Amino acid sequence: MKTNKHITAIFSTVIVIFACEPDKDMHPATMTVVANKSQVKTGETVFLKVDNGTAGAVAKWSVVPNTNVVINRAVSWDQKNSIIFNQQGNYTVIVEIRKVWCDSVAASHPGMDTCLNGGTTTGNLSTLITVNN
CATH number of the domain at 126, please.
2.60.40.1080
How far apart are alpha carbons 45 and 28 in whole angstroms? 31
Q: Which pLDDT score is estimated for 119? A: 80
Residue 14 lies in a domain: no
Residues of the domain holding 35:
28-132
Decide if pLDDT at 112 tops 60.
no
Distance of CA 101 to CAs 56, 61, 116, 120, Å? 10, 19, 8, 9
Residue 16 lies in a domain: no
Collapsing DSSP to helix, strand or coil, 7 comes out as helix
Residue 106 lies in a domain: yes
Decide if pLDDT at 26 tops 50.
no
Residue 44 lies in a domain: yes
Decide if pLDDT at 129 tops 90.
yes
- Render 47-116 in DSSP notation, one character per residue: EEEEETPPTT-EEEEEEES-TTEEES-SEESSSEEEEEE-SSEEEEEEEEEEE-SS-HHHHTSTTTHHHH
Q: Which pLDDT score is estimated for 15? A: 53
Number of domains within the chain = 1
> How does the average pLDDT of the chain come out, rounded?
81
Burial class (CB within 10 angstroms; exposed 0-12, middle 13-18, buried 19+) of 127 = middle
Residue 23 lies in a domain: no
Percent of the chain's residues with pLDDT above 90: 50
Question: pTM for this one?
Answer: 0.72
Residue 64 lies in a domain: yes
Decide if pLDDT at 82 tops 60.
yes
